[in-house]
Amino acid sequence: MKIEKILPRAQETILLFVWLFALGISGCDPQGTNIQNVSFRNGIQPIFDRSCVECHNQALANGGIQVQDYQNLMSSISMNTGNPIIVAGDAYQSILYDVISTDDFNRRMPRNRPPLAQESIDTIGVWINEGALDN
């Protein structure tokens, strides 16, 4: 095939990737939402109770993670990294945010289930960025 024929194709492909990349960034950016002033008690713990606690509680702490209350959540350590799963103030450094927002089915939480609603993912991201407070 002549180079003139391949080139437009290549450009199209590159554009598509740029577009998908931009979409990916905006789609998982809690900064991109207008959610704010998230309360742990009213906004966050109910999400964990609904979707995570059955596998991450005192009796059954998969991966050593417990999310049944604030204290256990904040002191849970990732077996993969040896670090706490939440870095207050920085969702992107927080393994918890990573595992709920990743497209990788093998890592994504809740395990073997559909992902959390985007609004729940954003709410958790904003809460972490607001300092992961016990509020």
Q: Which residues bind ligand HEC (CB under 6 A)?
A: 51-52, 54-56, 62-63, 65, 67, 78-80, 85, 95-96, 99-100, 109-112, 116
**Closer CB to ligand HEC, 123 or 130, in the complex:** 123
Amino acid identity at 97: Y
Amino acid identity at 98: D
How far apart are CB 135 and ligand HEC at their closest, in Å? 19
**Closer CB to ligand HEC, 9 or 107, in the complex:** 107
SS3 percent helix, strand, coil of the chain, rounded to 5, is 55, 5, 45
Residue 85: which of 128, 130, 49 has the closest Cα?
128
Backbone angles phi, psi at 22, to 5 degrees: -60, -40
How far apart are CB 67 and ligand HEC at their closest, in Å? 6
**Closer CB to ligand HEC, 54 or 103, in the complex:** 54
CB burial string 35-73: b at 16+ within 10 A, e below: beebebeebbbebbeebbbebbbeeeeebebbbbbbeeb
**Closer CB to ligand HEC, 100 or 126, in the complex:** 100
How far apart are CB 1 and ligand HEC at their closest, in Å? 45
How far apart are CB 37 and ligand HEC at their closest, in Å? 21
